[in-house]
């Protein structure tokens, strides 16, 4: 068996294991570390991260910043509206992606993982434009989204997010036995805004970034990201790797 095929089989084994056992013992930490290594591998096809400056947009508790620093000695900054003082990373800025209070051309890499589906549509373009602004010429951005029409894209409402919100709420309560707060009356109230593969590409085209590659981060069937409809339905998480022109 070729090394690449063996690595893919090992990847699938880990996917299966973590899907069923991620809440056992320290498996959640191990899973996050593994997927951080997957992400690093995808980026380092284009940019070595050793000693680079990185902005993690929407980085929550700063776990990924810490992992990048531990593995690649990066100068990482965690930007999030809720965590001015990250639990895992103290170099943090409390701000929204649409208003990044940092200078132009600062970072070699700007990352956003599972964030853009939580940004209201009216603020998405400006958020990506802000990432473009703070990225150095020749630098890169990495945007990870779950395309809305994939069964896993609905977060707490999956796979019922295809339906109007009242029906999705009812199905979540009856099938999953998980209630939704009375004040949550729409997907927007739940902080969830549909974002498609096509919609993300349009944001990129309007941002000034160049699209360097698209990746299937879970199943590693990268060619599907270039197939119409397949990239909207079959891929749980698509990574867009972007380059800022010199």
* 3 state SS of 71: helix
Query: Exposure pattern of 31-60 as b/e (b: 16+ CB <10 Å)?
Result: bebebbebbbebbeeebebeebbbbbbbbb
Task: Say whether both 142 and 93 belong to one domain.
Answer: yes
pLDDT tens digits, 77-124: 999 998 666 678 999 999 999 999 999 999 999 999 999 999 999 999
Task: Say whether both 71 and 179 belong to one domain.
Answer: no
Task: Say whether both 44 and 147 belong to one domain.
Answer: yes
Task: Say whether both 148 and 160 belong to one domain.
Answer: no
pLDDT of residue 178: 86
Low-confidence spans in the chain with pLDDT less than 70: 1, 83-86
Task: Say whether both 80 and 184 belong to one domain.
Answer: no
The CATH number that applies at residue 220 is 3.40.50.150
Task: Say whether both 43 and 161 belong to one domain.
Answer: no
Task: Say whether both 117 and 185 belong to one domain.
Answer: no
User: Is 177 inside any structural domain?
Assistant: yes
Task: Say whether both 52 and 145 belong to one domain.
Answer: yes
pLDDT of residue 32: 87
- Tally of domains within the chain: 2
User: Is 221 inside any structural domain?
Assistant: yes
pLDDT of residue 1: 55
pLDDT of residue 84: 60
Q: Which domain holds residue 131?
A: 3-153+202-243
CA distance 171 to 166: 9
Task: Say whether both 159 and 175 belong to one domain.
Answer: yes
User: Is 197 inside any structural domain?
Assistant: no
User: Is 14 inside any structural domain?
Assistant: yes
Task: Say whether both 85 and 47 belong to one domain.
Answer: yes
pLDDT of residue 179: 87
User: Is 36 inside any structural domain?
Assistant: yes
CA distance 13 to 221: 15
Task: Say whether both 65 and 106 belong to one domain.
Answer: yes
Task: Say whether both 178 and 58 belong to one domain.
Answer: no
User: Is 196 inside any structural domain?
Assistant: no
Kindly state the tokens that stand for 236.
């749980």
pLDDT of residue 86: 66
Q: Are 56 and 49 spatial neighbours (Cβ–Cβ below 8 Å)?
A: no
């Amino acid at each position: 068996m070729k090394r690449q095929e063996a690595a893919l089989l090992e990847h699938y084994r880990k996917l299966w294991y973590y899907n069923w056992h991620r809440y056992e013992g320290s498996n959640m930490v191990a899973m996050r570390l593994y997927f951080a290594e997957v992400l690093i591998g995808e980026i380092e096809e284009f940019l070595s991260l050793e000693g680079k400056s990185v902005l993690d947009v929407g980085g929550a508790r700063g776990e990924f910043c810490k992992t990048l620093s531990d593995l690649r000695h990066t100068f990482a900054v965690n930007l999030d509206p809720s965590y001015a003082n990250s639990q895992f990373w103290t170099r943090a800025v409390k701000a929204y992606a649409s208003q990044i209070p940092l200078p132009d051309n600062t970072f070699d890499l700007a990352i956003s993982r599972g964030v853009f589906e939580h940004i209201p549509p009216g603020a998405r373009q400006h958020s990506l434009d802000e990432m473009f602004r703070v990225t150095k010429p020749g630098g890169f951005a990495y945007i990870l989204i779950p395309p809305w029409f994939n069964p896993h894209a609905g977060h707490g409402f999956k796979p019922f997010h295809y339906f109007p919100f009242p029906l999705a709420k009812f199905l979540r309560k009856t099938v999953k036995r998980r209630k939704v707060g009375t004040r949550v009356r729409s997907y927007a109230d739940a902080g969830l805004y549909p974002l498609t593969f096509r919609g993300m590409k349009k944001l990129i085209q309007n941002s000034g970034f160049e699209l360097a590659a698209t990746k299937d981060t879970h199943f590693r069937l990268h060619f599907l990201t270039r197939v119409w409809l397949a990239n909207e339905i079959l891929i749980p998480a698509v990574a867009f790797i972007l380059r800022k022109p010199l």
